């Protein structure tokens, strides 16, 4: 009896305490954690700015070749030349395979346009100054059948020193205005100059 009365008193205290709180319709549960929400998928990776690989000069390549012939170790060669051990190992393997210290040709995708096509695009732009890059790409497809994007056209033109510019806005003269200008120029071409009859004064 006393136990039931004590429980009823606790429930009444809890109801009075949480009566005005929104969303509380039952006493709190024991050993139940709050909902943490949806889990974040993936992992946030910090951006690392990779430095461009240093290109070896012809003198450094000759020093690598000399160290290879003298049977020096990779560590000693790296210290003498001033480059990494991976670089030394890579160039030594390249020299062992090809017997030269020249870099292998790149393995990227070859360009879709040739040098002749690039010269044609340059001539078209110089001939038609108001021709845009998308319009030139369409003309390229019609003339040569090579389909490239407008960005590719811009890159090819930038390589030869042609940059895109906005045309300057100028009002065009009508036929009547041209005739009036010619008439005025012919009228005052000859005759007595009247510059001596003009009085020059400042704003004061």
Q: Give pLDDT tens digits for 50-62.
A: 555 667 888 888 8
The pLDDT of residue 65 is 86
- Flag whether pLDDT at 176 surpasses 90: yes
CA 134/CA 159 separation, integer angstroms? 17
| Weakest mean pLDDT among 20-24, 90-94, 191-195 | 20-24
What is the tens place of the pLDDT at every residue in 185-199?
888 776 666 666 767
pLDDT at 1 over 60: no
Q: Give the pLDDT confidence score for residue 95 in this predicted structure.
A: 86
Q: Is the pLDDT of residue 41 over 90?
A: no
- Determine the pLDDT at residue 69: 86
């Amino acid at each position: 009896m006393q136990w039931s009365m004590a429980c009823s008193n606790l429930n009444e205290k809890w109801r009075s305490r949480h009566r005005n709180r929104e969303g509380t319709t039952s006493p709190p549960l024991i050993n139940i954690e709050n909902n943490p929400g949806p889990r974040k998928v993936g992992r946030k990776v910090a951006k690392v700015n990779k430095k461009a690989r240093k290109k070896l000069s012809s003198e450094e390549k000759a020093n690598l070749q000399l160290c290879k012939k003298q049977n020096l170790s990779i560590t000693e060669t790296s210290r003498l030349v001033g480059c990494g051990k991976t670089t030394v190992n890579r160039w030594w393997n390249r020299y062992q395979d090809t017997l030269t210290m020249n870099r292998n040709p790149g393995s990227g995708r070859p360009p879709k346009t040739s040098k002749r096509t690039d010269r044609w695009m340059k001539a078209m732009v110089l001939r038609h100054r108001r021709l845009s890059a998308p319009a030139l790409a369409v003309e390229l497809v019609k003339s040569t059948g090579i389909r490239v994007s407008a960005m590719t056209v811009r890159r090819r033109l930038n390589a030869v020193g042609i940059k895109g510019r906005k045309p300057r806005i100028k009002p065009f003269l009508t036929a009547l205005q041209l005739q009036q200008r010619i008439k005025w120029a012919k009228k005052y071409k000859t005759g007595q100059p009247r510059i001596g009859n003009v009085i020059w004064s400042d704003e004061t």
